[in-house]
Amino acid sequence: MRAAEPGGSWFQRFLLPGFAMKAVIIGGGYATGRELAEYFLPAGPWGGLAGMVLAMLIWSLVAAITFALAHRFGTYDYRSFFQRLLGPGWIVFEIAFLIFTVLILAVFSAAAGAIGTATFGWPEFAGSAVLALAILLTTALGATAVEQLFKYASIIIYVVYALFLAIALARFGGLIGSNFAASPPPEPGWVAGGMTYAAYNIVGAVVILPVLRHQRSTRDAAIAGIIAGPLAMLPAILFLVAMIGFYPAVADATLPSDFLLRQMAVPGFALLFQLMIFVALLESGVGAVHAINERIAAAMTARGKAVPGAGVRALTGAVILAGCMVVAVRIGLITLIASGYRFLAVLFLIVYIAPLLTIGVYRLFRPLPAPEISS
């Protein structure tokens, strides 16, 4: 296990975990709007917002318990965490997480390729290759570089999404208002959409365990988890409100972001937004690869070996990303999100959420054993 680093700043203790979780979640579908179209728009405008609020509350609950339990265990990588939570069954989560990593990195790769084609007219592989190189460089530099990326990328993302909504309201705010006004109450599917979206994305709370090493107490960790839900969902809510202006047509777009940017027709903003999406893909990919690097580092440290250097971290990332790019090219963005994510939702409900809300809660509130007093 990697040691905690007490004495973290207020930002590191309370905001960094939420920024990091948002970094993992925002990914290829959320950043482009594809996930939002798939899981929230079928329930209508009000149903979509209701599903988002439900998913946000689930994220806060599960993240608070996960972060508090990780601090109590002193486990700051997913392997060590699940060894304590599941015992020998930790290997089941390991397998599920590797499937998750391959799938989401394939989604990020496909999205980067689509953005490169739509924005610059590049071949699809070019955008994917640029993203892969950026992920490798950042993760090779280690934990400090990763945390700095989460911090500054989050600022960029929140600012651009706020501008996105402001322009949408200025350009077609009347359409947004009329579509909300004409929309019936939430369709029954909003609960299923919100729970499915929450279930496969909440694994982000485990992916970002390395940034929890700054926590000073279990209370700090729980508060950071509660805050993480709104921090992770805020950009998605802003995006969905803008999408309602062209509901339901926008739901069929491969890249709803590109669809809306064409309607806005603001010179230069489309490029800024697409660059922001690339930053979002970068921090999401970095989060997933960094989690695996930290898992490897923790295992090597436990065996008395040196922590892997930049070269080993880069090589690990290269092997993972190469396989994911092949999956992205063969399957495509919409199919990956529509089919693969529902499978992940069921998988993580079984191997993560259910054990966490039962075994984890019991261990969190069970009194710690009294220290042995040697004679």
- What average pLDDT score do residues 325-336 get? 61
Tokens describing residue 148: 């700095």
Contact between 2 and 297 under an 8 Å Cβ cutoff? The reply is: yes
pLDDT tens digits for 76-94?
999 999 999 999 989 999 8
Residues 187, 202, 27: CA angle, nearest 5 degrees: 85
Round to whole Å and give the CA distance between 171 and 126. 33
- pLDDT over 60 at 373, yes or no: no
Round to whole Å and give the CA distance between 352 and 359. 10
**SS3 assignment for 274-331:** HHHHHHHHHHHHHHHHHHHHHHHHHHHHHCCCCCCCHHHHHHHHHHHHHHHHHHHHHH
Classify residue 226 by burial, with Cβ atoms within 10 Å: 0-12, 13-18, 19+: middle
Round to whole Å and give the CA distance between 261 and 254. 13
Please state the φ and ψ torsions of residue 321, each to the nearest 5 degrees: -65, -35
Nearest Cα neighbor of 232 from 37, 46, 53, 42 is 53
Round to whole Å and give the CA distance between 296 and 289. 11
pLDDT tens digits for 140-169?
999 899 999 999 999 999 999 999 999 999
pTM of the model: 0.86
Cβ-based neighbours of 201, under 8 Å, separated by 6 or more: 24, 25, 55, 59
Contact between 243 and 35 under an 8 Å Cβ cutoff? The reply is: no
Percentage of residues in the chain having pLDDT higher than 70: 90
- What average pLDDT score do residues 7-23 get? 90
- What DSSP designation does 41 have? G
- pLDDT over 60 at 3, yes or no: no
Amino acid of residue 349? L
Task: For residue 372, name the pLDDT band (cuts at 50, 70, 90).
Answer: very low
Round to whole Å and give the CA distance between 318 and 324. 10
Contact between 336 and 103 under an 8 Å Cβ cutoff? The reply is: yes
251 SS3 class = helix
Residues 259, 260, 262: CA angle, nearest 5 degrees: 70
Per-residue model confidence (pLDDT) at position 221: 96
203 SS3 class = coil
Contact between 237 and 51 under an 8 Å Cβ cutoff? The reply is: no
Please state the φ and ψ torsions of residue 185, each to the nearest 5 degrees: -55, 165
pLDDT tens digits for 108-152?
777 788 778 877 888 878 888 899 899 999 999 998 999 999 999
Contact between 82 and 90 under an 8 Å Cβ cutoff? The reply is: yes
Percentage of residues in the chain having pLDDT higher than 90: 51
